[in-house]
Amino acid sequence: MVLGSSTVGDAFDLERARHEGLAVVRRGSGGGAVLVEPGSQIWLMLYLGLDDPLVPWDLGTSFLWLGAAVANVLRGLGLPAQVVEDRQPRTELGRLICFGDLGFGEVTIEGAKVLGLAQRRSRGQACFQVSLLWRENQSSLRGLLADDQFVNQPLRVAGVAPLVKVSRQNLQDRIVQAITAL
């Protein structure tokens, strides 16, 4: 379980998470928590200089090119991938769980979020973090929230594994190729 930089620790029952066998760590980027399990995501990190044309000063729009690259790969596999191109309203659940809200550049398929993005800027560089859900596992985070008010609130999230006829590694290779071609 990876808490985002703005995730309040007491929002989750961290003892329950540890009892369920989850390691709990914090990343220096992003907002909400993400459940990371082997084979469940395609997780990439990209480092670019702040002077790179792909890194505009506006944090929101700086994700658009990255989301478009991933969406184009998914569309090439026949999926109706859509890139979030404008500011979306924040929800209380989305402040706690990354996949609970949509942000600039993130990708949906039929309204379900499949790609989460985060960024951290420091020392002249931007670090982009990309999490494409191979299998949907983020909904289980609701059960670890300290406040039960969100337990029955649905997350519009999906994994792409049941939707594609390629391996996880093949999809990752296609995404890396698309990004490095920019």
Place of tokens 């500011």: 87
Place of tokens 């369920």: 20
Closest CA to 25 of 10, 5, 45, 46: 5
Which pLDDT belongs to residue 151? 79
Q: How is residue 155 written in tokens?
A: 């997350």
- The pTM (predicted TM-score) of the whole model is 0.93
pLDDT tens digits, 11-64: 999 999 999 999 999 887 777 899 999 999 999 999 999 999 999 999 889 999
For the sheet containing 41-49, what is the strand order? 41-49, 125-133, 112-122, 107-109, 81-83
Q: Kindly report the average pLDDT of the chain as a whole number.
A: 93
Phi first, then psi: give them for residue 155, nearest 5 degrees.
-100, 130
Which pLDDT belongs to residue 4? 84
pLDDT tens digits, 73-91: 999 999 999 999 998 888 8
| Residue 140 CB contacts under 8 Å (≥ 6 apart), including other chains | 35
